[in-house]
């Protein structure tokens, strides 16, 4: 039982909490929340369970006084519990209002939860103040309404946090639709169930943590505030692959600590899916048997293995056929069927196909992608009577040799993408009506030839690849590979594209590469000065890719020792002051450990050089993103001195040009016009913009200064 004095104090606190909540509601779009209050806001999920239990228990005692032998005791305990529950609900509401200022939540879902939560708090407050009024009907009606509001608000909050079907999910799982291996699609039935169970709860339409949605392949490629979640064929640069492989205790690890974690199998599937090109619209059985995603996907489905009437060859025979350029393996532990894959274009000898004589009957799949196979070499494939799948992408086939495949009655899938096919190919392919799937994209065949082929093979799905419903498809951007973007002398940069027949056009002068302005990539680039590589991929029958871009910065000087006088904000503390001169280029990702974020304090770093040093160029490498309030510094000051015994002397002051309303979001260098000879000690002071311009949505508020490197030459 609470004492009268304590109840009076708590009642006054409750009144103050109501006033503060009302202030937050009225002024929420015009108030800047300090960082320490954001910490309290993130305690919202921890606080909310306590008032729910206390309020519901209080309502039982208030609305049904006969629960206790003495009705006065029931009223007294109910009143005390309602006061405690309402007060803690107030703090929960405050935390929730602060948390709502962070990005990642769909506004419609958030608004409903916010107002039902406020309804719980205000209804509980009014009910507490009216408990002693003896208006029993009003009290019972208010209690019923409050109980309903608690349930509705809790349900809406759970939907935001865990998903729209969080409560009914167990029932839905029992009714889940199962598909056979023959019907299974790579993304819909292998990849997406993993994302739905482990990722979509925090990355969906109603809750977009980091402005990222993971409920469709389009949203994965679009990405969030840190960029695309995945880069097809590029595991190393895919954020999703990076995050799921971090230690669980790392704050960037996904799923977050405390959430259900990925199993080893699920992690392997996601990695194999990205490495294979993030396949979206293919069925599992259309994948090459030798690919890692194929074997992982097949294991997900319980299907009776296909039976064959030929005998299994001995393990010794299979082992003898395996070498550094050829892999022969059974399709299953008990299956007599074999798949054969070749590797290493330079090591391939067409005569090696004749080595497969002992397994002609057992081989049902052959992968010769990217091998220099010509028309004459296809005669070696004629004896494979049980061959079902044949992959000949990016070989050297024109068409005449396809006549050797027309008698393969079991051949159901033939992939010829990337070959320079001619009209002879159309003639022979038209005879192969046993095919279920034929891939002929990027082969140079004319539209008329493709139409003729489709008409001749009405029972075959002919994939031309470059068109869907008449729409020409766009290539993925090329991949730019390098060790570090900051370098002292020179570095090597490689460009690549997953489609081997693609040409990569690039520029080094800042201009946009296109068909009239480019250099053709043929070998790795050697970079020895500041420049930006821009590259696009082009191929016949495709729309040229979007631009890939990387900036390289030469930084020849560095202090022998340095010290930051102010720490960055906890939210963007990077790798401490070491981030300033570690020659590591940050990426546009708020979780990247190379970013140092300054908000309440400036970047102030004191540098010392072993020997008097001439400085001709100075720059700050930073992230400019007006939407996120990431601005260049409002002012930069340079101070010098000869030794610690002397006072610092102001050497120069520089104010960068203010950003305009249409300023893009990008990584950039802010050049500071400073040069000096025989510098012993240098202090750089960069102040964040203290008031955002009138055109900005948060006009008058402070800006962030996001820095990843101090560049000196």
**Residue 263 near residue 296, CB atoms below 8 Å:** no
**Residue 123 near residue 86, CB atoms below 8 Å:** no
Of 511, 512, 482, which is closest to residue 495 (Cα–Cα)? Answer: 482
Domain 479-553 has CATH 2.20.25: no
Task: Provide the CATH number for the domain formed by 304-465 in this structure.
Answer: 3.80.10.10
Alpha helices in 328-485 (DSSP H): 423-429, 447-456
DSSP label of 227: B
| Lowest-confidence region among 375-389, 541-555, 692-706 | 541-555
**Residue 403 near residue 428, CB atoms below 8 Å:** yes
Q: What is the pLDDT of residues 49-80, one digit of tens each?
A: 677 777 777 777 777 766 666 667 777 777 77
pLDDT of residue 215: 80
- Backbone φ and ψ for 271, nearest 5 degrees, come out as -65, -45
341 versus 177: which is more confidently predicted? 341
pLDDT of residue 114: 79
Strand partners, 494: 481
Interhelix angle 49-63/107-130, rounded to 10 degrees, is 40
Of 1, 9, 144, 170, which is closest to residue 73 (Cα–Cα)? Answer: 1
**Residue 683 near residue 561, CB atoms below 8 Å:** no
Tokens of residue 517, six digits: 């302005």
pLDDT of residue 471: 45
> 344: pLDDT confidence band, cut at 50, 70 and 90?
low
Q: What kind and span of H or E run contains 145? A: helix 136-162
d(CA 342, CA 350): 11
Supply the Cα-derived Rg of the chain in whole angstroms.
33
Of 601, 679, 607, 540, which is closest to residue 35 (Cα–Cα)? Answer: 601
pLDDT of residue 554: 81
Task: Provide the CATH number for the domain formed by 555-712 in this structure.
Answer: 2.60.120.260
Question: What 3 state SS string does 302-349 have?
Answer: CCCCCCCCCCCCCHHHHHHHCECCEEEEECCCCCCCEEEEECCHHHCC
- Backbone φ and ψ for 218, nearest 5 degrees, come out as -65, -40
d(CA 163, CA 626): 31
| Lowest-confidence region among 11-25, 299-313, 354-368 | 299-313
Answer yes or no: is pLDDT of 448 > 80. yes
pLDDT of residue 499: 64
Q: What is the pLDDT of residues 80-110, one digit of tens each?
A: 777 787 787 777 777 777 766 655 455 566 6
628 versus 534: which is more confidently predicted? 534
**Looking at residues 111-123, what average pLDDT do you find?**
80
d(CA 548, CA 70): 77
Q: What is the pLDDT of residues 422-441, one digit of tens each?
A: 889 999 999 999 999 898 87
Report the half-sphere exposure of 484 (CA within 13 A, side-chain side).
15
Average pLDDT over the chain reads 79
Give percent of the chain above pLDDT 70. 81
d(CA 255, CA 220): 16
Distance of CA 373 to the CA centre of its chain: 38
Of 555, 554, 517, 563, which is closest to residue 538 (Cα–Cα)? Answer: 517
d(CA 480, CA 483): 10
Strand partners, 706: 597
> 207: pLDDT confidence band, cut at 50, 70 and 90?
low
DSSP 524-592: -EEE-SSEEEEEEEE-TTSBPPPPEEEEEEE--B--SEEEESSPPPGGG-TTGGGGGGS-----S-TT-
**Looking at residues 112-134, what average pLDDT do you find?**
78
pLDDT of residue 689: 93
d(CA 167, CA 154): 11
Q: Which residues of 617-645 are buried (b: 16+ CB within 10 A; e: fewer)?
A: bbbbbbbbbbebbbbbbbebbbbbbeeee
**Looking at residues 289-310, what average pLDDT do you find?**
69
pLDDT of residue 641: 92
Of 164, 136, 154, 163, which is closest to residue 52 (Cα–Cα)? Answer: 154
| Lowest-confidence region among 187-201, 227-241, 556-570 | 227-241
pLDDT of residue 473: 59
Burial of 70 (0-12, 13-18, 19+ CB in 10 A): exposed
58 versus 421: which is more confidently predicted? 421
d(CA 441, CA 540): 10
Answer yes or no: is pLDDT of 381 > 90. yes
**Looking at residues 667-680, what average pLDDT do you find?**
88
pLDDT of residue 667: 81
Maximum mean pLDDT: which of 198-207, 242-251, 339-348, 628-637: 628-637
**Residue 271 near residue 235, CB atoms below 8 Å:** yes
d(CA 84, CA 710): 53
Burial of 413 (0-12, 13-18, 19+ CB in 10 A): buried
Q: Is 18 helix (H, G, I), strand (E, B) or coil?
A: helix
pLDDT of residue 66: 66
Answer yes or no: is pLDDT of 419 > 60. yes
Strand partners, 669: 621
Opening angle at CA 698, ends 702 and 595, nearest 5: 50
**Looking at residues 549-578, what average pLDDT do you find?**
82
Answer yes or no: is pLDDT of 604 > 90. yes
d(CA 539, CA 504): 9
Opening angle at CA 188, ends 186 and 194, nearest 5: 90
DSSP label of 383: T
Question: What 3 state SS string does 155-215 have?
Answer: HHHHHHHHCCCCCCHHHHHHCCCCCCCCCCEHHHHHHHHHHHHHCCCCEECCEEHHHCCCC
Strand partners, 623: 667
Long-range contacts for 405-408 (Cβ within 8 Å, ≥24 apart)?
405/378, 405/381, 405/432, 406/431, 406/432, 407/382, 408/381, 408/382, 408/384, 408/434
Give percent of the chain above pLDDT 90. 17
pLDDT of residue 458: 92
Q: What is the pTM for the complete model shown? A: 0.41
**Residue 371 near residue 342, CB atoms below 8 Å:** yes
> 387: pLDDT confidence band, cut at 50, 70 and 90?
very high
Answer yes or no: is pLDDT of 44 > 70. no
């Amino acid at each position: 039982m609470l004492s009268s004095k304590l109840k009076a104090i708590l009642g006054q606190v409750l009144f103050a909490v109501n006033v503060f909540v009302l202030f937050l509601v009225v002024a929420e779009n015009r108030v800047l929340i300090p960082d320490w209050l954001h910490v309290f806001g993130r305690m919202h999920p921890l606080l909310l369970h306590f008032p729910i239990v206390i309020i519901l228990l209080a309502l039982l005692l208030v609305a049904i006084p006969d629960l206790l032998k003495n009705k006065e005791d029931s009223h007294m305990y109910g009143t005390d519990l309602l006061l405690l529950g309402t007060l803690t609900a107030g703090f929960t509401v405050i935390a929730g209002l602060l948390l709502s200022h962070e990005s990642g939540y769909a506004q419609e879902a958030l608004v409903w939860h916010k107002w039902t939560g406020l309804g719980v708090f205000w209804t509980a407050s009014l009910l507490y103040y009216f408990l002693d009024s003896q208006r029993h009907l009003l009290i019972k009606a208010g209690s019923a309404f409050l109980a309903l509001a608690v349930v509705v608000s809790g349900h809406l909050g759970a939907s935001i946090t865990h998903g729209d079907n969080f409560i009914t999910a167990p029932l839905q799982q029992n009714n889940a639709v199962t598909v056979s291996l023959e019907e299974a699609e790579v993304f819909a039935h292998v990849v997406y169930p993993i994302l739905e169970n482990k990722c979509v709860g925090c990355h969906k339409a109603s809750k977009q943590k980091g402005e990222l949605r993971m409920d469709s392949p389009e949203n994965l490629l679009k990405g969030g505030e840190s960029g695309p979640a995945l880069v097809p064929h590029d595991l190393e640069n895919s954020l999703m692959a990076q995050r799921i492989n971090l230690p669980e205790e790392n704050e960037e690890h996904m799923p977050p600590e405390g959430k259900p974690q990925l199993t080893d199998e699920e992690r392997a599937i996601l990695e194999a899916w990205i490495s294979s090109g993030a396949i979206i619209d293919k069925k599992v059985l259309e994948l090459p048997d030798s690919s890692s995603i194929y074997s992982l996907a097949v294991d997900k489905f319980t299907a009776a293995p296909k039976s064959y009437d030929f005998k299994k060859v001995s393990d010794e025979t299979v082992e003898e056929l395996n070498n550094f350029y050829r892999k022969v393996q059974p399709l299953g532990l008990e299956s007599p069927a074999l798949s054969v894959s070749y590797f290493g274009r330079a090591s391939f000898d067409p005569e090696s196909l004749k080595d497969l004589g002992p397994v002609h009957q057992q081989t049902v799949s052959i992968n010769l992608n990217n091998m220099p196979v010509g028309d004459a070499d296809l005669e070696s494939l004629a004896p494979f009577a049980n061959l079902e799948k044949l992959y000949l992408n990016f070989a050297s086939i024109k068409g005449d040799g396809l006549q050797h495949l027309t008698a393969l009655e079991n051949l159901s899938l033939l992939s010829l993408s990337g070959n320079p096919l001619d009209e002879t190919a159309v003639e022979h392919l038209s005879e192969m009506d046993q095919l279920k799937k034929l891939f002929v994209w990027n082969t140079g065949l004319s539209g008329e030839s493709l139409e003729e082929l489709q008409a001749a093979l009405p029972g075959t799905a002919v994939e031309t690849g470059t068109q869907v419903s008449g729409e020409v498809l766009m290539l993925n951007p090329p991949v730019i590979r390098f060790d570090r973007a900051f370098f002292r002398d020179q570095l090597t940069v490689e460009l690549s594209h997953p489609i081997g027949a693609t040409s990569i056009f690039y520029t080094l002068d800042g201009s946009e590469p296109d068909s009239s302005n480019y250099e053709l990539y043929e070998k790795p680039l050697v970079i020895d000065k500041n420049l930006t590589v821009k590259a696009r991929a082009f191929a016949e029958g495709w729309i040229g890719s979007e631009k890939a871009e990387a900036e390289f910065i030469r930084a020849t000087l560095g202090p022998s020792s340095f010290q930051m006088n102010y720490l960055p904000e906890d939210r963007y503390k990077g790798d401490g002051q070491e981030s300033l001169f570690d020659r590591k280029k940050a990426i546009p990702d708020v979780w990247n450990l190379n970013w140092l974020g300054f908000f309440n304090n400036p970047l102030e770093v004191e540098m010392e050089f072993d020997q008097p040093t001439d400085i001709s160029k100075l720059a700050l490498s930073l992230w400019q993103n007006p939407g996120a309030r990431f601005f260049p510094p409002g002012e930069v000051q340079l101070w010098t001195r000869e030794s610690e015994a002397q006072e610092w002397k102001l050497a120069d002051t520089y104010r960068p040009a203010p950003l305009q309303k249409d300023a893009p979001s990008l990584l950039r260098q802010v050049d500071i016009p400073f040069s000096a000879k025989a510098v012993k000690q240098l202090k750089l002071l960069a102040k964040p913009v203290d008031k955002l311009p009138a055109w900005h949505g948060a006009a008058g508020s402070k800006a962030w200064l996001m820095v990843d490197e101090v560049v000196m030459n």
